Amino acid sequence: MSLSRPSNRANLWRTFAAPLLILGASIVGLVAALVANGLGDWISWAALSVPLAAIVWGRLRRSR
C-alpha cells in the first residue's frame, strides 16, 4: 500500500505550507523592524501580526 510520488509531495506541501508562510512573514517583519523606518514600521507590524492571527484562527477553529 504505497502512495504515489505526486501524492506524497502534495501532502508534504499541505503539511508545511502554513508554517513556512508564518516563518516568511516573521522574517520579513523582523528585518523590516530592524532596518526600516516609517513605512517599514507598518510593514513590520503587519508581518509580525501574522503569527498572532494564526494562533487566534486556530483557537477559534478548534473551539467549534
Q: How confident is the model at residue 47 (pLDDT cuts 50, 70, 90)?
A: very high
Domain contains 5: no
Domain contains 51: yes
Residue numbers of the domain that contains 49 = 19-63
Domain contains 43: yes
Give the end-to-end CA distance of the chain in Å, rounded to a whole number.
Answer: 34
- Spatial distance between the Cα atoms of 45 and 47, rounded to a whole number of angstroms: 6
Using the predicted structure, report yes or no on whether residue 58 has a pLDDT greater than 80. yes
- Spatial distance between the Cα atoms of 7 and 9, rounded to a whole number of angstroms: 5
* pLDDT for res 5: 62
**pLDDT tens for residues 2-17?**
555 667 777 888 889 9
pTM (predicted TM-score): 0.74
**pLDDT tens for residues 18-45?**
999 999 999 999 999 999 999 999 999 9
Which CA distances in Å does 15 have to 5, 8, 20?
15, 11, 10
Domain contains 11: no
